[in-house]
A and B are shown apart, each in its own frame.
Chain A
Amino acid sequence: MPEIKIKVNQLTRVEGHGNIHLEASDGKLEKVLWEVTESPRFFEWMLKGRNYDDVSTISSRICGICSIAHTTASLQATEAAFGIKLTEQAWLLRKLLYDAELLESHVLHVLFLIAPDFLGADSVIPLVATHGDVIVMAVRMKKLAYNLAEILAGRKTHPITPIVGGWSKLPDADALRDVRERLVKCLDDAETMVAVVKSLAPMIPNFNRPTEYVALKDSKEYAFITGKIASSDGGTFPLEDYQKITNEFCVPQSSAKYTRHARASYQVGALARFNLSSEQLLPRAKKAAASLGMKAPIHNPFFISVAQAVETVHCVEDAINIIDRLLARGLHDEEVKVKPRAGRGVGIVEAPRGMLIHDYTYNDAGEIVSANCIIPTGQNHASIQHDFDALAPAILDKPVDEIRHTLEMLVRAYDPCISCSVH
């Protein structure tokens, strides 16, 4: 058997810089590495000394794609530290904004970044000619998510109006009514997206590696920004105990830290959420999952994108329900009062790619003394590496191009947010 050497420098169609490196000879795998080469940015140090009012503004810049998730985790950490409880209205608006985040991110990932892999294209651009309808639909869905976020937060990337304790400005009720109509139409689009995924599903590599799945879990709803930490290997943990799960450590091939809990690695993200909470999906999302033949637990990491399609339906349904509740109760100006106090607060949310943790300690003046952020992709890097270790030997007999492509697809399935994971 010939020598195989694969070196993918700066994997494409993912956020940030990562490399794939494989060497084999005589049919034996010598090395397969997932390398994270992104420059560290040191946000935890940037946050030191910052006033609580500027903290989410800075920390949302950890990631341009999931800046709403970072803003939300950041605000919840500060609110936990100061002992602030949101009003029902403020809370509903925060959840609605969160639906916009997931909707945009999942559409981008599944239809723009992943679909070209299955259709033999190098990007979404040639698909404009061959799959025009789907692309026009995807642009429409993304635009809707952007508009929903703009109505609520001033803009989608790096939101402006969500502040510690509430909102600096309320959305316009008429704008919410208009966007509701578009969301109702978007339910059909989301179901079409599920059908597209179903048509591509036979091409999903048959690869299973059972592992530990970790996500927020709530007794009342499919958890995105509520609940406790839960593990598929057993147990729930209060948010403040996240370090018992994450156990970060460094490896030389990655400028992002690795994590591990019950096993050598664990997975976070849409599939982890599906595996832990699928019975709580809203009705149409449940139907979508059934139409795809999905039944938890699923151990194939390539199914992360499929779970994202199901969650897309869920988020659209959820957004419609929340707008109905908001409109029924009417929007009322609420004064936001914040009294800083010394202490620690942990905020954890389910970013599109999984569990995102912000942990702040404040002084009396409301300035950050120390900060710790743990990013979903940081938690998934070890899982990607362990998937590589299991997958590569099984496909070594394939043509080199196919080996490379399968490994690239595996990384993309995780939708890694690499620059975010290095933060």
Chain B
Amino acid sequence: MKPKVAFFDFTSCEGCQLDALNLDVGEVLGLLGAVDIVNFREVKTDRSDDYDIAFIEGSITKESEIPRIEAIRKQAKVLVALGACACTGGVNCLKNAYTADELLKGVYGECASYYNTIPARPVSAVVPVDAYIRGCPPTTSEFLKVVKAALLGKRPDIPNYPVCTECRIAGNVCVFQRGGTCIGPVTRAGCDALCVSSGRFCWGCRGLVDDPNTNSAKDVLARYGLTLDQILERFKIYNSYSEVSQCQK
């Protein structure tokens, strides 16, 4: 029996789902040969509530999304958080700087009462998560790697060192040396330092490494005459849910 796979979207831009499937023809056929996709609203009409592996995209930002994710957790043997919104809360958590009232009145004016919102949170803040596919969006190769590991019942081999390591392998000139700021020193690698290699800097979309060396990060900042506050604003873009407080410790 092929494992039954389901995709579910919560609050998000839905880019991860479609990007995950940006595969070559061979890969598509390989994947379809290995699993049964039984639930995938964005691509497929028929749906079934009998599945083994659930991919969750998006953060939890509405009261009604809580029972929905709990029901999925109950059914799924393996629950995978797909993308930054699901893994760390992602950009959605930027709204948590405001109260629901400020947001609803600010955007919807007098119709505010039609709608509701709760502080945005990653999936793991509501139910246990078995595996993470990080990034905004994740890379296709990491998606395939995690799927293969999940099928074999193994732990995927995801880097637990900072983006800086991959950045050096890529031969980039360090952003700090170019006079900018970069979250690479505390961000989990796995993207081949894509943004730095594209002439920019790391925004930290893959979340913190497990044991971020915040002291050495502070050293880097001190060396270049920067304070933590100066880079925290940027760090918050993807990590304002919980990790900012961790970093400030």
Contact = CB atoms under 8 A, between A and B. Distances in A.
Given A108-B18, A155-B194, A252-B111, 9 more contacts: A64-B13, A64-B15, A122-B44, A122-B45, A156-B22, A157-B137, A163-B200, A167-B199, A419-B12
A401 to B, nearest CB: 12
A50 B249 CA distance: 24
Contacts of B136: 61, 158
Contacts of B114: 250, 252, 255
Contacts of B137: 64, 155, 157-158
Interface string B98-122: 1000111011111100110100000
Interface stretch (B89-97, B156-164, B212-220): B89-97
8 nearest interchain CB pairs?
A: A64-B15, A168-B199, A169-B199, A250-B111, A123-B44, A154-B198, A64-B13, A46-B94
A255 B43 contact: no
B29 interface: yes
A67 interface: yes
A33 interface: no
B195 A160 contact: yes
B91 A46 contact: yes
A45 B110 CA distance: 17
Interface residues of A, number: 57
Contacts of A54: 203, 234, 237
Given A12-B44, A139-B28, A42 B103 contact: yes
B107 A45 contact: yes
Interface of A: 10, 12-17, 39-42, 44-46, 51, 54, 57-58, 61-65, 67, 108, 112-113, 116, 122-125, 128, 136, 139-140, 142-143, 146, 153-158, 160-161, 163, 167-169, 250, 252, 255, 257, 419-420
B119 to A, nearest CB: 11
B151 interface: no
A217 to B, nearest CB: 29
B32 A15 contact: no
A13 B44 contact: yes
A139 B24 contact: yes
A69 to B, nearest CB: 12
Contacts of A125: 32, 37, 43-44
B1 interface: no
Nearest to B40: A123
Contact of B198 (A39, A45, A160): A160
B77 interface: no
A63 B22 contact: no
Interface residues of B, number: 59
A143 B61 contact: no
Interface string B68-98: 0000000000000000000000111011001
B25 A420 contact: no
Given A45-B106, A61-B90, A250-B114, A15 B11 contact: no
A286 to B, nearest CB: 31
14 contacts: A12-B45, A39-B61, A45-B102, A57-B203, A65-B14, A122-B46, A123-B43, A128-B29, A139-B28, A140-B25, A154-B195, A167-B199, A250-B114, A419-B11
A257 B46 CA distance: 30
Contacts of A10: 41
B13 A154 contact: no
A161 B32 contact: no
B13 A419 contact: yes
B19 interface: yes
Nearest to A253: B114
Contacts of A123: 40, 43-46
Contacts of A168: 198-200
Contacts of A419: 9, 11-14
